[in-house]
Structure 1
Amino acid sequence: MTNLKVNKPEPFLPLKEVTIYNREEDIKSIIKVLEAGNPVLITEFYNNGSVLLKGLQEHLNKKLPNKSFKEQRAYRDEYHKLSNLIIVEINDHKIVAKKAPVIGWLKKLYPETRDFLLTLPQVQGLNSAWQWYTNGISIPGLRNKIHPYYGTYFPTRFEHLELFDNWLKRYLGPKKSAIDVGVGSGILALQMVKHGFQKVFATDTNPNTIIGLTEMMGDTKLSRKIELDFGSLFGKWTNKTELIVFNPPWLSETRDLNNLDEAIYYNDTLFSDFFEAAKDMLLPNGKLVLLFSNFAQITGVANFNPIQQEIAEGGRFQLEKCYTKNVKKGSDKTKRSSQYRDTEEVELWVLTHV
């Protein structure tokens, strides 16, 4: 897997014309520069970037409605466009602005490039990812923390993982092998190993996932229990298995996706392609487990559940059981989509061959 190319923000060289922002500048005039499509460079103190972003958020809150799920998405798109015109300078793998955080990714991901520019949201993302990677994240039911590699999706809520852990405790079938489609940060595979599966074959379309998990496992016993492949759906694996696990994206989307978005949004062929491939990969008495949510339906983004559609129309799989769990109340700091928490449920679907 060493020949995989990591997904990372593309560095760029200093621009000929750029507006400088420091604390003396009027934020309204700087926002006009951004809205005209021109870049703004953060100098002096790193925190100036946060001040400018806060001003941008206040400006967009007055300009755009931000109540329904679709309005929130439009707001985020505009914020994404303008905030990514704010840029930060990096020299010798360090941020030039004063009192900036030390971000190990700048050296780890860019060993050949010492001096370059990145956008402020990219730098903030790198900084958060470095904290998660170095400090680790505790996952309910797992003894050790996970250390997600840059650009690798990991859950921030755990109800679906608790559902899966409880299901594994009651699982009485064979445990010779399992396949984890879209392994992400490796949590489901680690849960299966914890519950006695001898071998887990895992795939992902994100190279950072494969690079990060390969690094994390090293040459430990875990590396002999979990085998990885960079590929879509079942990748290079061809042997039938008694358990297939899939935690697909929970929202439908038709726009072109970047790799991290593929963990959140699914295209219109993902489920039909998956079920067709799974039909050939699952042993006759095997079980197909999917972790999903009703979020797309309660927000009006989708009017049907693709798993229910497969059961009703696909002719390949039948329902053995569906378990649900209410989602905990969101943080008071998180306004995004909090009105849906009362009716949101995560789902664990167990399907078998028709």
Structure 2
Amino acid sequence: MITDIKINKPEPIVSIKDVAVFDGHTDIRLAIKTLEADKAVLITEFYSDGLLLLKELKMHLKRRLPNKTFKEQRKYRSVYQKLSNLVLIEVVAHRLIVKKAPVIGWLKKLYPDTSDFFLSFPQIQGLNSAWQWYKNGISVPVLRNKVHPYYGTYFPTRFDHLELFENWLKRYTGPKKTAIDVGVGSGILSFQMVKHGFQKVFATDINPNVILGLTEFMGNTKLSRKIELDLGNLFGRFDKPTELIVFNPPWLPASHNIANIDQAIYYNKSLFPDFFAAAKELLLPEGKLVLLFSNLAQITDVTKEHPIEKELAEGGRFQLERCFKKTVKAASNKTKRDQHWRALEEIELWVLTN
């Protein structure tokens, strides 16, 4: 099954035409005008030249675009994403050919049959960061061991919701025969449930990189016998009722078409109605449905609708047993985005029953 999975990865550009060159002698303002004219720019000398061009592009866009509110920040990031991805860099024999470039193992691991190609500079930056996380691992407060997220797999950079779930698991006294983890991601919730004595966790995800990465990470360890994976939407092929269903859904409604890793961050209109309908069929009479959520969308004025509150008010399927809330930790000093709303953000753990 795993060998048949088509991995999400940046599409390699085999050849390019009509491209401008950027090196230490190029006028940066001219290069930015070239990008704004929808023409590609190729980094040819030093890796740092690409970093410089993107830094100047950000400054240029911040002067042009308002960047104060949450919605304005989303607009700014959209324009930056479009223009920055016109900055290209060349790969030869699975290595970047510019000087002083990082060695990125994904170039060979993800493209075994294509050694020479071009990618956008932001894609290379993403591959480089992902390689460091994968190679070195990430420490998570609620787990003994590091996780090694595969390329294109969402993993948390904040842990408030994981700590909330950890505390709930410590107090959980129900049966621990089976559980279903919907949208397993980097696997942390499943690992927590195994740590707390669940005999079998059925874990699904719509992202093929998640399934391949967790399969590789677990190998032939005890985890691989405790956690069964399936590539599929919501509950996938798992159709046996269970005593616990866990879901850490996206926290923001989509304002654009979503694909790949964005599906871990943004939800479409059908996600919650489809989930609750399917969960009703699979939750045992005395079972628990646990959702990890946030008031992020409401406090940033993205939407006034809270999908879990809406289900409880209108769905007629579940009862609220308890909702635990926790104020999030302050934003990192390294975070440059305006995040004044973080003081109002609360992480939520909802426990629903039949």
Q: Which TM bucket (shorter chain)?
A: over 0.9
Residue 342 of structure 1: SS of its match in structure 2?
A: helix
User: For residue 305 of structure 1, what is the aligned residue in structure 2?
Assistant: 306
Q: Which residue in the other structure is 1:334 paired with? A: 335
Measured in 2, the distance between the counterparts of 1:105 and 1:337 equals 33
Instruction: Report the counterpart of residue 82 of structure 2 in structure 1.
Output: 81
Q: Distance in 2 between matches of 1:5 and 1:54?
A: 34
Kindly provide the CA deviation profile for residues 29-74 of structure 1, in whole angstroms up to 9, marking residues without a partner as x. Answer: 1000000000000011001000000110110011000001111111
The answer for unaligned runs of 5 or more in structure 1 is none
Aligned mates of 2:346, 2:308 — CA distance in 1:
15
Does the alignment pair 1:130 with 2:131? yes
Q: How many Å apart are 1:337 and its aligned residue?
A: 4.4
Q: In structure 1, what is the Cα distance between the partners aligned to 2:203 and 2:7?
A: 18
CA distance in 1, matches of 2:3, 2:224: 15
| Residue 168 in structure 1 maps to residue 169 in structure 2 | yes
Equivalent position SS for 2:58 = helix
Q: Distance in 2 between matches of 1:233 and 1:285?
A: 21
Q: Matches of residues 254-293 of structure 1 in structure 2 within 5 Å?
A: 254-293=255-294
Paired residues of 1:94 and 1:103 also in contact (CA < 8 A): yes
Indicate if the aligned counterparts of 1:183 and 1:203 stay in contact, CA closer than 8 A.
yes
Cα distance, 1:136 vs structure 2: 0.1
Quote how far apart the aligned CAs of 1:135 are.
Answer: 0.2
Runs of 5+ consecutive residues of structure 2 not aligned to the other structure: none
- Structure 2 Cα separation of the partners of residues 198 and 73 of structure 1: 42
The RMSD of aligned alpha carbons is 0.7
CA distance 1:148–1:140, shift in 2 (3 Å):
same
The residue identity in structure 2 corresponding to 1:321 is: R
Q: Hey, what does 1:2 align to over in structure 2?
A: 3
Q: Which residue of 1 aligns with 2:40?
A: 39
**Equivalent residue for 1:325?**
326
Alpha-carbon shift at residue 255 of structure 1 (Å): 2.2
Q: How many residues align?
A: 353
Aligned-residue offset at 1:221: 1.3
Give the secondary-structure state (helix, strand or coil) at the position aligned to 1:2: helix
Which residue of structure 2 lines up, in the alignment, with residue 71 of structure 1? 72
Aligned to 1:221: 222
2:62 match: 61
CA contact (8 A) 1:160 1:348 kept: yes
Contact 1:182 1:246 in 2 (8 A): yes
Letter in 2 for 1:98: K
Paired with 1:178 and 1:132, the residues of 2 have a C-alpha distance of: 28
**Matched letter for residue 105 of structure 1:** W
Paired position in structure 1 for 2:244: 243
Residues 244-265 of structure 1, C-alpha deviations (whole Å, 9 max, x = no match): 0000000001421111010000
SS at match of 1:260: helix
Distance 1:256 1:344 in 2: 26
1:130-166 deviations in whole A, cap 9, x for unaligned? 0000000000120100000000000000000000000
Once the two structures are superposed, residues 295-341 of structure 1 have per-residue CA deviations (whole angstroms, 9 ceiling, x without a partner) of 00000001021101111110000100000111111112213241111
**Pairing 1:20–2:21 present:** yes
| TM-score, structure 1 as length reference | 0.99
Are positions 1:295 and 2:296 aligned together?
A: yes
User: SS of 2:287's equivalent?
Assistant: strand
Letter in 1 for 2:330: K
Q: Residues of 2 paired with 1:301 and 1:211: CA distance?
A: 33
Do structure 1's residue 184 and structure 2's residue 185 form an aligned pair?
yes
Residue number in structure 1 paired with 2:141: 140
Q: Distance in 1 between matches of 2:28 and 2:272?
A: 46
Q: Give the residue type in structure 2 aligned to 1:25.
A: T
Within 1, Cα distance between the matches of 2:15 and 2:333? Answer: 40
Percent sequence identity is 67
Partners in 1 of 2:78 and 2:177 — Cα distance? 46
Q: Which AA in structure 2 matches 1:142?
A: L
Contact kept, 8 Å, 1:254 with 1:268, in 2: the verdict is: no
In structure 2, relative to structure 1, the CA distance for the partners of 1:337 and 1:203 (3 Å cut) is farther
Partners of 2:259 and 2:340 in 1: CA distance = 28
The AA in structure 2 aligned to 1:131 is: Q
Task: Provide the C-alpha distance between the structure 2 equivalents of 1:274 and 1:332, rounded to a whole number of angstroms.
Answer: 37
Could you tell me how far 1:2 is from its partner in structure 2? 2.0
- Map of 1:100 onto structure 2: 101
Amino acid at match of 2:230: D
Distance 1:297 1:144, change over 3 A: same
**Cα offset for 1:23?**
1.5
Once the two structures are superposed, residues 200-254 of structure 1 have per-residue CA deviations (whole angstroms, 9 ceiling, x without a partner) of 0000000000000000111111111000000001000011000000000000014
The farther-off stretch of 149-158 and 7-16 is: 7-16
Spell out, residue by residue over 1:5-31, the C-alpha distance to the aligned partner (whole angstroms, 9 max, x if none).
111000012312111101211110100
Report the TM-score when normalising by structure 2. Answer: 0.99
What's the CA shift for 1:85? Answer: 0.2
